[in-house]
């Protein structure tokens, strides 16, 4: 997942200490979903993959296991600090802006991006670049959030703790939207892939509730955006401290926004 630094207009700064905690939580929550789709698409030995906006190392490493020494995995992001150490062998790491730069050469059997395009200002250009990079018969797998479909942190809003949690989640959505995020982007993916000319387009959605990783992700995210929430008048420091204490009890049934996965094949 590539959530770029504030220097590029993005809310969640990969240079903050909490970024690593978030990447680990996202890996636990969503890697099984991602690799279920990767394996359904029969990504196997000798193939070449492009992981766009990798964020953490887990997806590139999983792809490298599947393509083996005869294949290749290109990992790109604006900020490659979290993947630089895995470069070598079949994995190549490259600083690259998918919306502003031409796609890497060579052609790919799989192009994958998870929780990336929702944060990219020129999503149309980024999608066009990724499709252009596919070999004939190659697969594009996009996985993105849709906070508009399920906007609540606590779907069971049963008390003041849940009400506070949902109000802070609303503040988070406000901050994301102010930085150009499309909070309804995930639901558009199947249509966009069809309109781009891809074949065999399918999609599904997943959102966990009550996973311990949801609590880890929420606490790390709130700590990252704390100053912005306070500066914009969306929450007070006291409210944030109270919410973090509520999360730490483990008694809140926390959820994520649905992650919609859509895939299609280039003719």
- 179 by DSSP, 3-state: which? coil
pLDDT of amino acid 13: 57
Residue 81: how many CB atoms within 10 A of its CB?
A: 13
Residue 84: how many CB atoms within 10 A of its CB?
A: 12
Residue 202: how many CB atoms within 10 A of its CB?
A: 12
Distance CA 226, CA 221 (A): 8
CA proximity to 192, closest of 121, 142, 267: 142
pLDDT digits 0-9 by tens, 71-88: 999 999 998 888 888 999
Distance CA 13, CA 257 (A): 20
CA proximity to 115, closest of 214, 22, 222: 22
Q: Is residue 9 pLDDT above 60, yes or no?
A: no
Q: Is residue 6 pLDDT above 50, yes or no?
A: no
What is the token pair recorded at 197? 């000319």
- The residue assigned the tokens 């969640």 is 12
Distance CA 96, CA 111 (A): 14
- Return the minimum-mean-pLDDT range out of 26-35, 48-57, 133-142, 158-167: 48-57
CATH of domain 6-265: 3.40.50.150
- 127 by DSSP, 3-state: which? helix
Virtual torsion, Cα 107, 79, 30, 40, nearest 10 deg: 10
Distance CA 217, CA 238 (A): 20
pLDDT of amino acid 55: 78
pLDDT of amino acid 140: 98
Q: Is residue 47 pLDDT above 80, yes or no?
A: yes
Asked if residues 228 and 11 have their Cβ atoms less than 8 Å apart, the reply is yes
Query: DSSP labels for 211-246?
Result: -HHHHHHHHHHHHHHHHHHHHTTS--HHHHHHHHHH
pLDDT digits 0-9 by tens, 221-245: 999 999 999 999 999 999 999 999 9
CA-CA distances (angstroms) from residue 20 to 96, 101, 146, 178, 237? Answer: 21, 27, 23, 24, 23
pLDDT digits 0-9 by tens, 80-123: 888 888 999 999 999 999 999 999 998 999 999 999 998 888 99
pLDDT of amino acid 3: 37
Dihedrals phi, psi of 251, to nearest 5 degrees = -100, 0
């Amino acid at each position: 997942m590539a959530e770029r630094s504030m220097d590029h207009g993005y809310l969640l700064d990969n240079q903050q200490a909490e970024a690593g905690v978030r990447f680990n939580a996202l890996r636990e929550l969503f890697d099984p979903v991602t690799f279920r789709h990767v394996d359904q698409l029969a990504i196997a030995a000798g193939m070449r993959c492009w992981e766009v906006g990798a964020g953490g190392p887990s997806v590139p490493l999983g792809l490298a296991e599947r393509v083996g020494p005869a294949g290749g995995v290109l990992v790109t992001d604006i900020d490659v600090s979290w993947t630089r150490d895995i470069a070598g062998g079949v994995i190549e790491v490259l600083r690259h802006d998918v919306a502003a730069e031409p796609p890497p050469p060579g052609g790919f059997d799989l192009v994958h991006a998870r929780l990336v395009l929702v944060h990219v200002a020129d999503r149309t250009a980024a999608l066009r670049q990724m499709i252009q990079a596919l070999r004939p018969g190659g697969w594009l797998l996009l996985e993105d959030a849709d906070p508009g479909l399920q906007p609540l942190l606590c779907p069971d809003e049963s008390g003041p703790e849940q009400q506070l949690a949902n109000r802070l989640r609303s503040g988070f959505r406000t901050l994301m939207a102010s930085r150009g995020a499309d909070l309804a982007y995930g639901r558009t993916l199947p249509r966009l892939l069809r309109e781009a000319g891809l074949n065999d387009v399918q999609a599904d959605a997943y959102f966990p509730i009550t996973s311990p990783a949801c609590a880890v992700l929420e606490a790390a995210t709130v700590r990252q955006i704390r100053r912005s929430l306070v500066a914009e008048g969306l929450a007070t420091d006291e409210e944030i401290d109270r919410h973090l204490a509520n999360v730490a009890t483990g008694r809140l049934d926390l959820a994520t926004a649905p992650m919609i996965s859509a895939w299609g094949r280039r003719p």
